[in-house]
Amino acid sequence: MPPAAKLPAASPVEVAVDFDSSVQSLSALDAAAYRLIGTATCRVDRVGDRYVCRLASSANPQKGAVLTSDALKERFLNLVADENLRTRVAETTEGVRNVILALAFGSLAANQNDAG
Amino acid sequence: MARFLPPEAFGAATEDLSLLPFSLERTGTRQYLVANVVGDFIRLTEDELNRLVDLQVRPGDGLYEKAYAAHLITGTNQKAQRQLLAARLRSRMSFLQQMTPLHIFVVTLRCEHSCPYCQVSRQSTDRSRFDMSEETAMRALDIAFASPAARIKIEFQGGEPLLNFPLIKMIVAAAKQRSGKKLDFVIASNLALLDDTVLDFCKANNVLLSTSLDGPADLHNKNRPRPGANSHELAVAGIRRAREILGPDRVGALMTTTEASLDRVDEIIDEYLQLGLDGIFLRPLSPFGFAIKTKQFAKYDAQKWLAFYERGLRRVLEINRQGTPFREFYAALLLTRMLSDRPIGYVDLRSPAGAGLGALVYNYDGSVFASDEGRMLAETGDDAFRLGHVHHDSYNSLILSDKLIAAISSSLTQCAPECSNCVYESHCGADPVYHHATQGDVLGIKPLSAFCARQKGIMGLLLDILENCPEDAVILRRWAAA
Amino acid sequence: MTLPLYGTASQSAGFCSNAARSVVRLRSVDSAAERHAADFALAGTREEFQRAVEADWPSILVVSDGSIDLPGAFKGRLVAVPPKYDYLADGDVIGFDHASRKFRTLYRRKSAHNSFLVTERCNNYCLMCSQPPKDIDDRWILSEIKESLPLIDPATRALTFTGGETLSDWEDFIAVLKECRDRLPATAIQVLTNGRAFADSRIVDAWKDICHPNLIAAIPVYASVDHIHDHVVQARGAFDETILGILKLKDRGQRVEIRVVLHALTAPIIEDTGRWLARNLPFVDHVALMGLENTGFAIANDAVLWMDPVDYGDGLARAVDHLSAAGVNVSVYNLPKCVLPKSVWPHALQSISDWKNGFVEECDRCDEKNTCSGFFTTGRPRFSRGVRAITAQRDELTTLAD
């Protein structure tokens, strides 16, 4: 009897996603990569005018099953989209956020008429 | 002649609208959970979220009204919402004005149980050099009374604190002699040594009893081995007797979860019900002390625990629907955060963290720790949360120590990656001791944190019930009531 | 039957021309109380009138259906009013205009519902306003109130100030409240106001400085959304000012009640409004959810405003639940129990002022009549299709129907 074929050792699922560095911020990519910790590793390189993100799913994910290549890519793209949105909201609302914090924790002036 | 204007005359122009700060989390295909700056939740579709961020909203379109009431948008020149959010934020953070209300005295390390998961590294009964001395106790009391809080709670722990009952009596008497603070006392005991002398003392001095009850007899005894194998019997007898003599609201029980508990939450809850207790605190297993040594901690993960928790919570809700008021206490705490702005100083659910600022632990040997768990770490050789010693430190030197300040400031959720824009952040907390113990870092990498997974899981579950189960939602809202 | 609080005297005599108006307190003919210059003996019959003259009363008010012949000896002041004002009693205060002989009943000692109208001016223009605003100079009203205060029984439990917008002349009005504090320290004062003035720190600080022992500002909030509230009150920016005013009042430790009048614009969203109040303003002292009084502008806007209470009962019950769960004191006013869900009954108060409160024939058979608010008698009362006597038999039928 010929020996049973040996299955190759399972290799981690890998996928690469790239972004135009003139419209995509690095910090959003970092934040998305952070949220993926435990599910996949992410390495960001700059190649020309693009950011290339190499994702590799973890062998023992903290939560849920090992992601397929498509699922991992979709997940990462969604995370990046969400981080971009968060950045946009944070930038737009930074001023009013500071006003609210100042009102909350700054000294309450006797004249509150001109408070924001 | 009276002339009235139509609704259209009262809407603001788009140029006059501004976004207010909010966090977001994708919850499904084109579905988002959004929270405003004080943590009010609202669900939006992806389309609604994008329209909101672009300020493509108009009075009368439904989204404007949803977003305005949830404080996601405001008039650029309006004032009330900014002031309202500031006032609410101030209220939510006002727990900071209660400085160190809890003081834990570990009066002895001796204990006659040998529970495998025990956070207290116990020494056997006959080594009395593991008892706190009178001198240490008095110095610790000096420090406790130096905290600014007008009302403090002194909690006696161990080992089994009743093995050093004379010192408890002495501390209570000495504390009552001092003026300037309102006092509450608690003894956290396994009740095996509870007798009439102890009960009379508790009654006379208004001391609360807190004990452990892990579930039905076989489960409890498996968790808590004792010569005679009668830990459960003694605990139940102790609870009954104490409730009878001290009153039902003067005795509380806490459970601890082990692997063996995970499939038996219904029985555990029934055990509490049968004793007439008014609720249960479904706790996770903390990764400290003997638990690490005996690898209890590694045995279950956050998802398994969450399944246990959800089943338990739904069972509790069923009990309420059938007419018996009964609470799950952790849910009640979280709901108070989620549905009101009343400050709660629960040490594990706040940022800045409750270590030191919320509680100080005076060990039998005079060392002072920032928390219960911090003391456990020291037993395994990790001094990260040892702040000092009663013989050469004051309240100020302990609280203002570099160690404590570093731990608290480095673990702030308001500044942490992922936490700072997490949709649940307003209701969550920093747990520097937990993250130090499990990841070696007070901040921790939250995607790897079981604490984080549990918090998100429980809050998600509570939101789901509040939104989709009207009868249960009424019950949950009452738990959050003042 | 609405009690007539306004009228014209049939006859008057003895009033001097150096003042246009007088404030008058009524005393029973045999009253032994110390006589104040403003006191008039109250005579309901000719016999009483004679006794008043003989008792040397310098001023007399007669309730009479005919004219009074003054005996020659009588040199004092006289006012005669028609019989429909026979509710007037000892301790009541009226305001009397000399030239026109018009009078207003300002205060009735035996009533639990005394309110002083402070002005008819207002900076809102609510669609359902029961006292439509007029842009006139009526500052004399505050003067008249000031004159009345010394005549009011200090045992009076409560007084309400209403309008118009009570804070229209806030300095003079706050001075009146200080008088109340001094002369009537045991009397609880409720001020109905749209609250917008309190957005101004000067005004809220002046309010705080009254240091009144029992003062509450009752302020309407109609929605959790600015343009909806603004539309109801017909004033742009009103919501923002009102909410800011409430925050400032509370910041200074002042008592605040929030009122929501329920009609077609506010009732369909009442659950949202209740939830919003519970979440954002749970520290207010009271929330009153109120049935609509179909008078004033409410009649003109009937098509836009009328909503049968049975159609908003579920939302109302949920709003009450949100508020109670948040620890807020919440009451439901002006709605009869038959149109309210049972869960709301513990919160339903008998709230309609006695002078405009009535029942219908159906109510005679009702078990709950004694604890029910009944109906408004003012304006053009509109009745819910749900009005019916509550009897044990009805409950059985309802259960069977379920």
Chain A CB contacts of B87 below 8 Å: 104
So what's the pLDDT on residue A58? Answer: 84
- Whether residue A89 and residue B90 make contact (CB cut-off 8 A), yes or no, is no
Question: In chain C, what's the furthest Cα-to-Cα distance?
Answer: 77
Last residue of a domain, one of C73, C106, C139: C106
Contact present, B370 and B385 (Cβ < 8 Å): yes
- Do C214 and C285 fall into the same domain? yes
Which domain does C296 fall in, by range?
110-401
How far is it, in rounded angstroms, from Cα B144 to Cα B104?
9
- Do C129 and C77 fall into the same domain? no
| B425: Cα separation from own chain's centroid | 15
Q: Across the interface, which of A63, A93, A96 has its CB nearest the CB of B303?
A: A63
So what's the pLDDT on residue C379? Answer: 84
- Do C218 and C299 fall into the same domain? yes
- Do C90 and C119 fall into the same domain? no
Residue A11, phi-psi category: left (phi > 0), alpha (psi -120 to 50), beta (remainder): beta
- Whether residue A96 and residue B18 make contact (CB cut-off 8 A), yes or no, is yes
Chain C CB contacts of B64 below 8 Å: 225
- Kindly compute the dihedral angle of the four CA atoms of residues C7, C8, C14, C16, in this order, to the nearest 10 degrees: 80
* Residues 63-92 of chain A whose Cβ lies under 8 A from any Cβ of chain B: 63, 78, 82, 85-86, 88-90, 92
Question: In chain A, what's the furthest Cα-to-Cα distance?
Answer: 94
The CATH code of the domain that includes C21 is 3.50.30
So what's the pLDDT on residue B1? Answer: 59
CB contact A6 to B (< 8 Å): no
Mean pLDDT, chain C cut into blocks of 10 residues (402 residues total): 89 86 95 93 90 92 82 83 94 95 95 94 95 93 96 97 96 97 97 98 98 98 97 96 98 97 97 97 97 91 94 97 94 94 93 86 88 87 89 62 45
Strands C115-117 and C158-162: parallel
Find the mean pLDDT for residues B309-320. 97
Q: Whats the size of chain B, residue-wise?
A: 482
pLDDT band at B4 (very low <50, low <70, confident <90, very high): very high
So what's the pLDDT on residue A8? Answer: 46
pLDDT band at A107 (very low <50, low <70, confident <90, very high): low
How far is it, in rounded angstroms, from Cα B463 to Cα B333?
14
Which residues is C397 bridged to in the sheet?
none
- Do C296 and C182 fall into the same domain? yes
Residues 6+ apart with CB under 8 A from C144: C21, C23, C95, C106
The percentage of chain B sitting over the pLDDT mark of 70, rounded to a whole number, equals 93
Chain B CB contacts of C321 below 8 Å: 474, 477
CB contact C200 to A (< 8 Å): yes
Q: Which residue of A has its CA nearest to C197?
A: A113
Chain B CB contacts of A82 below 8 Å: 24-26
Find the mean pLDDT for residues B259-266. 90
So what's the pLDDT on residue A111? Answer: 38
- Do C367 and C310 fall into the same domain? yes
How far is it, in rounded angstroms, from Cα B56 to Cα B51?
5
How far is it, in rounded angstroms, from Cα B75 to Cα C284?
24
A neighbour chains, 3+ CB pairs within 8 Å: B, C
- Whether residue B480 and residue C325 make contact (CB cut-off 8 A), yes or no, is yes
Please identify which residue in the block is written with the tokens 């920016």: C237
Assigned domain for C241 exists: yes
Residues from B in contact with A at Cβ < 8 Å: 18-26, 37, 49, 53, 74, 79, 82-83, 85-87, 89-90, 93, 302-303, 417-418, 421, 445, 447-448, 453
Q: How far is CA B325 from CA B465, B478, C349, in A?
A: 18, 10, 28
- Omega cis (within 30) before C82: no
How far is it, in rounded angstroms, from Cα B343 to Cα B89?
10
Q: Which residue of B has its CA nearest to C128?
A: B4
Residue, of B387 and B289, whose pLDDT is higher: B387
- Whether residue A92 and residue B90 make contact (CB cut-off 8 A), yes or no, is no
The domain ranges of chain B are 7-93, 99-399
Last residue of a domain, one of C58, C78, C106: C106
Please identify which residue in the block is written with the tokens 């306004």: C6
Tokens standing for residue A9: 């050792």
pLDDT band at B298 (very low <50, low <70, confident <90, very high): very low
How far is it, in rounded angstroms, from Cα C275 to Cα C321?
9
Residue, of A4 and B474, whose pLDDT is higher: B474
The CATH code of the domain that includes C199 is 3.20.20.70
Q: Which residue of A has its CA nearest to B52?
A: A89
- Do C142 and C252 fall into the same domain? yes
- Whether residue C243 and residue B339 make contact (CB cut-off 8 A), yes or no, is no
- Do C83 and C124 fall into the same domain? no
Query: Which of A100, A107, A112 to probe the C interface (max C CBs under 10 A)?
Result: A112
The residue type found at B236 is: V
> A45 vs chain C: nearest CA distance in angstroms?
47
Query: Which of C120, C194, C196, C227 to probe the B interface (max B CBs under 10 A)?
Result: C227
Chain C CB contacts of A112 below 8 Å: 201, 248
Question: Going along B248-314, which residue ranges are E strands?
Answer: 251-254, 279-280
The residue type found at B205 is: N
- Do C25 and C131 fall into the same domain? no
At residue A112, does pLDDT exceed 50?
A: no
Cβ contacts below 8 Å, chain A against chain C, sum to 7
CB contact B61 to C (< 8 Å): no
Query: Which of C201, C248, C251 to probe the A interface (max A CBs under 10 A)?
Result: C201
Tokens standing for residue B339: 């549905």
- Whether residue B2 and residue C132 make contact (CB cut-off 8 A), yes or no, is yes
The residue type found at B332 is: A
So what's the pLDDT on residue B123? Answer: 57
- Whether residue B418 and residue A31 make contact (CB cut-off 8 A), yes or no, is yes
- Do C39 and C135 fall into the same domain? no
So what's the pLDDT on residue B112? Answer: 75
- Do C33 and C129 fall into the same domain? no
Last residue of a domain, one of C69, C85, C106: C106
Contact present, B19 and B85 (Cβ < 8 Å): no
- Do C154 and C98 fall into the same domain? no
At residue B295, does pLDDT exceed 80?
A: no
Q: Which residue of B has its CA nearest to A38?
A: B448
| Tally of CB atoms within 10 A around C370 | 7
Please identify which residue in the block is written with the tokens 């009379």: B200
> A49 vs chain B: nearest CA distance in angstroms?
27
Q: What angle in degrees, to the nearest 10, is found between the helix axes of B196-205 and B231-246?
A: 40
So what's the pLDDT on residue C398? Answer: 56
How large is the ipTM? Answer: 0.92
Mean pLDDT of chain A: 84
- Among the listed ranges B88-102, B223-237, B443-457, C184-198, which one has the minimum average pLDDT value? B223-237
Q: Which residue of B has its CA nearest to A87?
A: B421
The percentage of chain B sitting over the pLDDT mark of 90, rounded to a whole number, equals 77
Residue, of B205 and B225, whose pLDDT is higher: B205
Q: Which CATH superfamily is domain B99-399 in?
A: Aldolase class I (3.20.20.70)
At residue B47, does pLDDT exceed 50?
A: yes
pLDDT band at B288 (very low <50, low <70, confident <90, very high): low
How far is it, in rounded angstroms, from Cα B176 to Cα C393?
62
Chain A CB contacts of B74 below 8 Å: 96
Helices (H), B380-449: 395-399, 402-410, 432-439
Q: Look at chain C and report how many structural domains it folds into.
A: 2
The residue type found at B13 is: A
Tokens standing for residue B62: 């439904």
Chain C CB contacts of A108 below 8 Å: 251
C neighbour chains, 3+ CB pairs within 8 Å: A, B
